[in-house]
Structure formats: C-alpha cells, structure tokens
Amino acid sequence: MRWSFRRPSFWQLVFIVILGAGLYSTVIRFTRGLGASTALSDAFPWGLWIGFDVLCGVALAAGGFTLSAVVYIFNIERFRPIIRPTILTAFLGYVLVIVALLFDLGRPYRIWHPLVMWNPHSVMFEVAWCVMLYTTVLALEFSPMVFERLRLERPLRILHALTVPLVILGVILSTLHQSSLGSLYLIVPEKLHPLWYSPLLPVFFFISAIALGCAMTIFESFLSYRAFRKRLEIDLLADLGKVTVVALAVYLVLRVQDLARRDVLARALEPTYEGRMFLAETLMGVIGPILLLSIRRIRMDHFGLFVSAVLVVLGFIMNRLNVSITGMEASSGVSYFPSWTELSVTLMIVALGFAFFGLAVKYLPVFPEMERLPAPTLVEPPAVAVLRRPWIGTTPLVLILGGIFFVSAMGSAYSGLQYRERMFAPATSGEESEPEIAEGLERFEVPPDITFPQGEASPGPVTFRHASHLNWERPNCTVCHHEPFRILKASGRGAPSPARDLHDERHCGRCHDGRTSFSVKEDCTACHRP
Amino acid sequence: MGGKKGLLFDVTLCIGCGACYEACKERNRLPRTVAHFLDDQLSDRTYTVVKKRGGRFIRQLCMHCEVPTCVSVCPVGALEKTATGPVIYHEARCIGCRYCMLACPFDIPKYEWGKVLPRVRKCDLCADRLAAGRPTACAEVCPTGATKFGDRQALIEEARARIRARPQKYVPRIYGLEEVGGTSVLLLSDVPFERLGYRTDLLSEPLPLLTWQVLQKIPDFVVVGSVLLGGIWWITNRRREVQIREREERKRRGASEEVSRDPSASGFVGPSQEEE
Ligand code: SF4
Ligand code: SF4
Ligand code: SF4
C-alpha cells in the first residue's frame, strides 16, 4: 500500500505550510490568550472553533454510527467492507474535536472538570460526557485494526465478544450527542434567527447528521479510491446514496413544516442576509442532492455520486455555520468573521485529520478485504478518469470551503453594518433631548457635610459641603468619586485624620489648584472658618 | 433576614449621577475604563453601567434571575443561585466554555479576553455585603433612591404601591416579575421598556425549561433505545443464524459435502463474509 498522489511534493508542501501556520497560531493562542488570537468578543463568544470544528467535526463522524448500526445491529452484511474506514473517520473526528476544544476552552487544562463537577441540567454537560464516552467506544471499535496489525489474538477475541454491546452503546451515545449539539441552541430562543431556531433543533441535527454520515462515507470512499487506489464499491455507495435521499427528504419535510407552523416560512424568501443563507443551504445541501440522487443514472455514475455527496457535505457545513454564526449575528449586534489564527488552526486540524487517515490506511488493515484483491484493473469510465486527476478531490473541497467562508464573510460584514445601526440607535422620540430627571432631583438627598478636625497650624476647621461642589442641573458623582475619593461609606474607619495634609493634589488641591477652582494657597478663610 | 434580597430600579428617579457605577467599581476594585462613565459598557472591568436611552437614564447589571439560565447551562456548576438571591461565580470550577455568555438572555456575563487564563466576570449582587447584612454598594450610594435594596417580596409590594399611587405616570408593569421566570432585579418605568432598550420579547417561563424538557428524557431514551437496538440485533442475528444453518443443511444434503470455512474471528470483520 503506497501513497500515490500524483504530485506528492506539492501536497506535502501545502501540508507543511498549513501545519506551520497552524503551529504558529497555536503558540499565539496559548501565550497571548483568546482575545489576541480570535475574533471572538463578549458579544460573540462562540465562533469558528465551535461552529465548524466541533459542530461539524462531530457530525462528520456520523458515518461511523450509522454504518455500524446497519452492519452489526440490522445485520445487513453487504456494507461490511466499508465499515472500517468510517469508524476510523469517526474516531479521528472525535479526537480532533477534542483537540479543537482544547483551543477553544478558556481553561483547557480543566477539560476534565465535567467528570467530577456535575450539572445534569446543562446540555454542555451532556455533550462533554458524550464526547468522552463515545471517543472511548470509538477507540475500542478502532483498536482491532491495531491489534490485528500487531497480531494480538487475545484482545481481539475479547473485543469481538464485545462488538454488539459496544455498537449499541455507540449508537445510543451518538444519537444523544448529535441531537444535543442542536439542543445547545434551544436555550437561545430570542437570540437565534427564527429560520434556524426551532424546538425541533435536536431532531434536525440528528437527521441531518445521518444524511451527512452517508454522504461522508461516499465522499471518503472516493478519496481513498483516488489516493490509495481502493476498489470502489459503487453499488454499495449508490445504496448509501438512496439512504441519503430518504434522510434528506425526511429532514426537508420536517423543516418546512416546522417553519410553516411557526409562521416564518416567508422569511426565507426575504432579501435579507439570513434569507439568502437559508436558501443557499437548503438548495445546495438538501434539495439539490435529493434531485440528483433520485436519478438512478446519476446515482450509479461515479462523478454524479461524488458531486452529490460533496453537495450534502457542504450544505451541512453551511447549516451548522448558519446556526452558530449567521443566525446569531443579528441579535449579537456585531458581525463576526474568524481571525486568520482561528482559520489556520482549523485548517491545521482538518489537515491533520487527512494526514492521520492516510497514515492509518498505510499502516493498518483499514481496508482488509481489499488487500486480498489484485490491484484494480477496472476499465475506467471517463468520469472516473476525471476524478483521478490531481485537481479533483481534495482541491475542490478546499476551494469550495474557502468560497463558503468568503461568501459568509462578505455577507456578514455587510449585515453587521446594518445591524449595528438597528440595535444601537433605537428610534425614540426623546433621544436627542437630555433625559428627564426632575423627579429624581426632587428626591435627591445630598450626602452629608464632612467636618474635618482642625490641624495644629490651621486657622480653623474645614467643612466640606457636597451641596456646594455639585452641578445642580446635572449632578455627576464620578467627577470626584474615583480614587482617591472613595464613594462607599468607610466601614468603621471614622473621620479623616487631622494629621494628614489635605492641601496636596490627592485631596483638596486636586481641584483647588488655581485653574479648576481657586487655589488652596489663596484666601485661607474661604474654607477655614474659625 | 431570611427572604430573597433584590434591587428595585425606578427609571423615573434616576438622575444619571453615576454614583452606582463608581461604587460598583470601588467595591469590586475595578480599574477606570473610560473618560466619561456614560460611554462605558459592560465588560470584564465594568459590572454595571448607566446609559442614556429613550429620554431616561437606565442601569444595566446582572438581573439575578430566579431560575438563571447561566446557572443551568454551566456544565461544571461554576455559577450558583444562592438562597438569598445573588447568582455567584466559582472561578475555580469554570472551564471557560462561555456557554453562560451565549445563553444569558440579558447578555450579562463577560470574559477576560485579554488574559491567558481568563475568568467570567459579572455583578454578584455584592454577595459578601449581603451576607454581612448590608445593602449592595450601588444601592447604598444612590442619592435619589432610584436603586433600592430590600427583600424581593417587599420590593414587589412597593413597586405595586408606586404604580397604584400614580397610575397615569407609570407603565403598569414591573419588569422582572415575569421575564424568564422572574428576576431579583426589578424595574419600574414611565416609558415603555422597549424604548429604554430592555428586551421585552422574552418568554415568561424560565429558559432552562426549554433544555430540561429534552434532557429529562435521556435516561428513558438510553434504556428504551438499548433494549430496542438489542432486540433488533437479537432478531436479525437469529434470522441470520437460521439462514446459515439452513444453508449448511442444504449443503450437507446436497452432493458435494463441502465443509463451510471457519468464519474468521478477526475482530470487526466478523464472521459471515461468505453470505450471498
Ligand atoms: S441575568 Fe444572565 S447572568 Fe444574570 S442571573 Fe440571569 S442569566 Fe445569569
Ligand atoms: S464559561 Fe465557565 S461559568 Fe460559563 S458556562 Fe462555561 S464553565 Fe460555566
Ligand atoms: S450589586 Fe454590587 S456588583 Fe452588582 S452592580 Fe451593584 S455594586 Fe456592582
């Protein structure tokens, strides 16, 4: 099994550049903090690392649980040959999600806290447990590939006996997890745009994850086919295409029904940024692939199937980004576009995923049956020949992803401007005039006078009167009350000591300097009254 | 003592003097952030602000919700609603996921973005002063009584009395009585609250119910799901075994007595490759 990229040096170069930029950003992230390294802010606390790395990363692993349910629980054996690569992807997906979380958490070294500090009311708590448990399950499901390679029979037998319970646990956990990523957003009904907020969010996240799981399996098989000369199980993949259609159709029907029931269907057609993003997501990722994949000729055609799968994947990514970024921008009042640090870390994580997948295929029996087959001697249909050219496969993915980011960037920059005005300039009549404070002034209790004890050389005691130090039209306490003039009642600390000279610029002299007000050096009796 | 404490902020009495702003900074030892306090906004160094909105001065601070969203979403219980009202933060627990910031309906929790090991920052209703039987710093210094400290129930009564005494003046509504299930900070106004920039589109039930309705079902889901999947597996597996046995029977009865190969027990490429 050899790497057989056409131009290895080029891709290695790309990989090295991505890795270099990513590592540099990593250093910035961990030495200078989130503020310096991301475009996140108080108004927009969750960005690309949650929206893409976590929400999409987890879901890209959905092929693992879908297929293992099909093979091990429903005993549909035909799909067995492609189960290992999907489990590998799922495992890598989860590991990379954890890596992304280590970047995103403000205190990554406390990532274990949810293990011992429980809050079962929190969706995030559930997510944390699911990530952890399912990563363990996936590691166990993945481990036979390692044990086989090392020819360790005993653990293999144990794992074999555990297969079905593990798969059941895995299916349950990922069902919970896929849907709970949607539940995360149930708590923001007034913040998330109504085109995406729905009480059914967990259901939508789950169903779309199944569609994505199938599409991802198709996509991956094609990549392996191109990169590692794997035989393409086109019948199997076409069947997965059918499953994708069913899942997408269920999703579409539910989604439209839900929008209609909540009376927001019309907003999809409004010429707003959200409307356009919603249409793009739905047309590209749902309706398009349904149409394409329903046609048998396209489904059975290498190129047709591949393109449909890519569309589903992209549409899905767009949906998750729309939920986490597009849909949240309006209420946040700011526009968010990831910083290059966030982008390069994300790219690095994706690239590492590809690299580990490649390494695993190279060194582990990921495609065990394939090894027994002779090198593929298929006569390639022209479409496949096209697929094999270096520029198709990874390149379009990168390009299209870049395109999506670019489009959303433009869109959000534009929409951000609009929102800022909408949020912070409420059209109110009394806005320009000074606020109405008459009644407050009536109730205004001027703080008591303070009489300072007379010092030794003093011509007389000084009484400080709040009343004479006030602008009665518009009292502003903060003019004097910041350090050193405390505003809070000094608890139990009595009156100021007479020994202190209050003439200096930290006390009366601060304003009584001859410029702001008469100087402490002028007429003593102005303040010192015998 | 005993009852839940709270604040009543009456917009009509606020003269925008900034005393509460300054007192909060002093009590929390926060640095100066802007030249003029009216230009400030909530941040990791400012827990309350006074703003000019809709022809009035308003205050913004943590509302200390009765069923706080931030408390419910925090995976590690770093936020806590105490018995006397304040919603407080335990920084030693926080993992920095910032879900509280995303979820708070009033956008209150702020983050120390400039630090390598940041904390979440917000008003804590001066919990230590409350414990010592004193009012919050902001209420203590307010010269007009616009910010008033007291038992939440007593404050509600007082707010009702003020509205009753001058119905032609006040908007007949106590903000914070019902918003997201009620808050410990209550607001009164003579202009509609939305003109002051307060959210009036909030649900009247606590937001944590929205997620709890789903989370609640998890134990049942796990049990039912496992049994269901186990059942399906049992059925399909039975069927397959029967099929295999039948085929073997047929083979045995048939002419060529070919012993079926041993199913390779190699982990996840389980047995029965040779079906179909
Ligand atoms: S206002 Fe926000 S931060 Fe304050 S208690 Fe309510 S949910 Fe928590
Ligand atoms: S940022 Fe901290 S306090 Fe806020 S939800 Fe996350 S762990 Fe809890
Ligand atoms: S209650 Fe305390 S912490 Fe909160 S705004 Fe008032 S002074 Fe600041």
pLDDT band at A383 (very low <50, low <70, confident <90, very high): very low
> What are B175's strand-pairing partners?
B187
CB under 8 Å to B30, separation ≥6 — which residues? B24, B45, B46, B47
- pTM for the whole structure: 0.87
- Of residues A520 and B123, more confidence is placed in B123
Q: Are A329 and A45 spatial neighbours (Cβ–Cβ below 8 Å)? A: no
- Comparing alpha-carbon positions, the chain B residue that sits nearest to A129 is B75
> What are B58's strand-pairing partners?
B51
| Cis bond upstream, residue A484 (ω within 30) | yes
Structure confidence at residue A491 (pLDDT): 55
Give A326 Cα–ligand 1 centroid separation in angstroms.
24
Residue range A403-419: mean pLDDT, rounded: 52
Altogether, the residues listed in chain A come to a count of 530
What is the per-residue DSSP string for chain B? --SPEEEEEEGGG-----HHHHHHHHHTTPPP--SSGGG---BTTBS-EEEEETTEEEEE----BSS-HHHHH-TT--EEE-TTS-EEE-TTT-----HHHHH-TT---EE-TTSSS--EE---TTHHHHHTT---HHHHH-SSSSEEEEEHHHHHHHHHHHHHH-TTTS-S--BTSSGGG-BSEEEE-SS-GGGGT------SS-THHHHHHHHTTHHHHHHHHHHHHHHHHHHHHHHHHHHHHHHHHHHHHSSS-PPPPPPP-BTTB-S-TT--
Q: A155: which 2 tokens?
A: 């653990």
Pairwise CA distance, residues A402 & A340, whole Å: 12
Contact B57 A486 (CB under 8 A): no
Structure confidence at residue A405 (pLDDT): 57
Residue A391 in this model has a pLDDT that exceeds 50: no
Closest C-alpha to A478, from B57, B27, B34: B34
Contact A188 B103 (CB under 8 A): yes
pLDDT band at A344 (very low <50, low <70, confident <90, very high): very high
Structure confidence at residue B190 (pLDDT): 93
Structure confidence at residue A522 (pLDDT): 80
Closest C-alpha to B196, from B62, B11, B42: B11
Structure confidence at residue A119 (pLDDT): 94
Residue range A144-158, pLDDT digits in tens:
888 888 888 888 888
Q: Whose CA is nearest to atom 8 of ligand 1?
A: B70
Positive/negative CA dihedral, A289, A292, A293, A294: positive
Residue range A322-333: mean pLDDT, rounded: 92
Residue range B92-116: mean pLDDT, rounded: 95
Residue A501 in this model has a pLDDT that exceeds 90: no
Closest C-alpha to B137, from B31, B50, B21: B21
Positive/negative CA dihedral, B64, B67, B72, B78: positive
pLDDT band at A410 (very low <50, low <70, confident <90, very high): low
Structure confidence at residue A418 (pLDDT): 44
For B89, phi then psi, to 5°, come to -120, 130
> What are A451's strand-pairing partners?
A463
Percent of chain B with pLDDT over 70: 91
Give B35 Cα–ligand 2 centroid separation in angstroms.
31
pLDDT band at A389 (very low <50, low <70, confident <90, very high): very low
Pairwise CA distance, residues A415 & A325, whole Å: 12
Pairwise CA distance, residues B88 & B92, whole Å: 12
pLDDT band at A385 (very low <50, low <70, confident <90, very high): very low
Atom of ligand 2 nearest to the CA of A122: 5
Q: Are A175 and A206 spatial neighbours (Cβ–Cβ below 8 Å)? A: yes
CA distances from A385 to A221, A223, A388, A389, A392 (A): 16, 13, 5, 7, 10
B126 ligand 3 Cβ < 6 A: yes
Atom of ligand 1 nearest to the CA of B69: 7
pLDDT band at A361 (very low <50, low <70, confident <90, very high): confident
Residue A492 in this model has a pLDDT that exceeds 70: no
B127 ligand 3 Cβ < 6 A: no
Residue range A278-299, pLDDT digits in tens:
999 999 999 999 999 998 888 8
For B273, phi then psi, to 5°, come to -75, -20
3-state secondary structure A383-444: HHHHHHCCCCCHHHHHHHHHHHHHHHHHHHHHHHHHHHHHHHCCCCHHHCCCCCCHHHHHHC
How would you classify residue A75: left for phi > 0, otherwise alpha for psi between -120 and 50, otherwise beta? left
CB under 8 Å to A119, separation ≥6 — which residues? A125, B72, B74, B75, B76, B77
Percent of chain B with pLDDT over 90: 71
Structure confidence at residue A369 (pLDDT): 56
Q: Are B152 and B125 spatial neighbours (Cβ–Cβ below 8 Å)? A: no
Pairwise CA distance, residues A462 & A450, whole Å: 8
Within 165-224 of B, beta carbons closer than 8 Å to A belong to: 191, 194-195, 197, 199, 201-203, 207-208, 210-212, 214-215, 218, 221-222
Atom of ligand 3 nearest to the CA of B62: 4
Pairwise CA distance, residues A206 & A196, whole Å: 14
- The mean of the pLDDT values for chain A is 82
Residue A8 in this model has a pLDDT that exceeds 80: no
B181 ligand 1 Cβ < 6 A: no
B71 ligand 3 Cβ < 6 A: no
Residue range B38-79, pLDDT digits in tens:
999 999 999 999 999 988 999 999 999 999 999 999 999 999
Structure confidence at residue A374 (pLDDT): 44
Residue range A158-176: mean pLDDT, rounded: 87
| Largest Cα–Cα separation, chain B | 106
Q: Are B117 and A106 spatial neighbours (Cβ–Cβ below 8 Å)? A: yes
What ipTM was assigned to the predicted interfaces of this complex?
0.86
Element (H, E) at A452: strand A450-452
Residue type, A490: A
CB under 8 Å to B28, separation ≥6 — which residues? B47
Please tell me which of A21-30, A134-143, A159-168, A361-370 the model is most confident about, judged by mean pLDDT.
Answer: A21-30
Q: For A519, how many CA atoms within 13 A lie in the half-sphere containing its CB? A: 5
Number of Cβ within a 10 Å radius of residue B117: 13
Structure confidence at residue A412 (pLDDT): 52
Q: Are A344 and A21 spatial neighbours (Cβ–Cβ below 8 Å)? A: yes
CA distances from A456 to A494, A499, A501, B169, B237 (A): 19, 8, 11, 56, 102
- Of residues A470 and A505, more confidence is placed in A470
Q: B34: which 2 tokens?
A: 């802007």
- Using an 8 Å CB-CB cutoff, list chain B residues near A487: 19, 22-23, 26, 141
Pairwise CA distance, residues A84 & A75, whole Å: 15
Pairwise CA distance, residues B222 & B218, whole Å: 6
Q: A331: which 2 tokens?
A: 């209420």
How would you classify residue A173: left for phi > 0, otherwise alpha for psi between -120 and 50, otherwise beta? alpha
